[in-house]
């Protein structure tokens, strides 16, 4: 069954989402604006965004109509109607604020979200199936909202940004969407672990870390949707096109991994690299030395935890977790120094 909390924020009529997000923005007005009702609504929306069951029994093989309804509905019914404009950013002490301001990620983070929004909306306009198109439009809206969250953050804490580049419509919308989806599968896996490390280390105030929690969980929903869309897309195309689609997917994986390896080695020549946000963050969330084995374990555990609340019939992203589990077999934890 779908989460009962989600129904409090779901419009009964089909959600027609314009490129400017007008109707979805209207949905966010359901969130009360004062007193105890705010806390109750926020808690209900947060719970609905994390736990969801499809209201039909039976198997949902990839490419089936039930499978399509499942991965489309999970986006809609777990929508969290938080408003970036009313996020209560905590006041930081000078030392904590300086640590935040000095992070070298803000320009890239804002631009990554801007590109993701454009790519997803561009692809959505090419999709004929209304349920899938609506889910994609909602996903694009949420990526734009992430950008808005970051914009409010940098304004509140006085973080200077470079002028944003022009965001150009992709020539191949599907490939652009797949590049964004695969990039998020890689980056979100590590972001889950880095976010938990930041929480445990106390390097940043807990109130600031918790403010980003809805954004992090939304990325989990996005990679869940993308993984199931990818399986559905391949199974519903003519058989003779599937080998080409598989090669296309593989080529994007190679591109994304090479980009991240290049950045990790300090050889990236582009400040627009989507790799920058997650990989640079790894050096900035803790004031303690990070054991690679511990980091892998945290990422694996957090990835499982964040996706555990959704219907088990939905496919989970497995390429990155499988690769990390294999690498983990070869990496031993560092010995802890005794005091």
User: Please, where are the H alpha helices in 21-129?
Assistant: 22-28, 35-50, 65-77, 94-101, 106-124
Q: Which helix (H) or strand (E) holds 180?
A: helix 173-201
Q: 246-285: per-residue pLDDT in tens?
A: 999 999 999 999 887 776 555 444 444 454 444 445 556 6
What pTM did the predictor assign?
0.84
Residues 6+ apart with CB under 8 A from 208: 89, 90, 92, 96, 100
pLDDT at 313 over 50: yes
CA 282 to chain centre: 17
pLDDT at 52 over 60: yes
How many of the other CB atoms lie within 10 Å of CB of 62?
16
> Residue 218 and residue 216: Cα distance in Å, rounded?
5
Q: What is the pLDDT of residue 244?
A: 97
Domain boundaries, the chain: 4-328
Six-digit token string for 307: 């996706």
Q: What is the pLDDT of residue 211?
A: 86
pLDDT at 338 over 50: no
CATH number assigned to the domain covering 4-328:
1.10.620
First to last CA, the chain: 52
pLDDT at 213 over 80: yes
Residue 317 vs residues 216, 226, 227, 308, 323: alpha-carbon distances, Å:
16, 9, 6, 12, 11
Average pLDDT for 80-95: 87
């Amino acid at each position: 069954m779908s989460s009962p909390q989600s129904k409090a924020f779901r419009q009964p009529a089909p959600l027609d989402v314009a490129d400017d997000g007008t109707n979805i923005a209207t949905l966010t007005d359901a969130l009360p604006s004062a007193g105890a009702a705010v806390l109750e609504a926020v808690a209900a929306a947060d719970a609905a965004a994390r736990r969801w069951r499809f209201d039909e029994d039976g198997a949902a093989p990839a490419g089936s109509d039930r499978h399509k309804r499942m991965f489309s509905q999970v986006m809609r019914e777990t929508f969290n109607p938080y408003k970036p404009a009313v996020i209560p950013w905590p006041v930081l002490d000078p030392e904590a604020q300086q640590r935040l301001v000095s992070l070298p990620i803000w320009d890239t983070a804002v631009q990554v979200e801007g590109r993701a929004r454009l790519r997803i909306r561009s692809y959505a306009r090419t999709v004929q199936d209304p349920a899938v198109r609506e889910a994609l439009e909602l996903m694009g809206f949420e990526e734009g909202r992430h950008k808005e969250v970051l914009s409010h953050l940098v304004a509140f804490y006085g973080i200077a940004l470079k002028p944003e580049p022009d965001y150009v419509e992709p020539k191949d919308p599907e490939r652009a969407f797949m590049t964004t989806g695969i990039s998020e599968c890689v980056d979100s896996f590590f972001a889950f672990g880095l976010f938990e490390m930041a929480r445990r280390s106390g390097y940043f105030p807990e109130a600031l870390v918790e403010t980003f929690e809805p954004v992090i969980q939304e990325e989990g929903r996005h990679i869940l949707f993308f993984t199931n869309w990818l399986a559905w897309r391949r199974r519903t195309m003519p058989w003779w096109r599937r080998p080409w689609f598989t090669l296309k997917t593989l080529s994007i994986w190679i591109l994304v991994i090479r980009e991240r390896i290049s950045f990790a080695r300090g050889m990236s020549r582009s400040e627009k690299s989507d790799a920058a946000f997650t990989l640079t963050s790894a050096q900035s969330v803790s004031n303690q030395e990070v054991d690679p084995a511990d980091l892998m374990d945290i990422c694996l555990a957090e990835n499982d935890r964040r996706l555990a609340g959704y219907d088990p019939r939905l496919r989970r992203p497995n390429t990155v977790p499988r690769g990390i589990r294999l690498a983990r077999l070869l990496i031993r934890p560092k010995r802890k120094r005794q005091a």
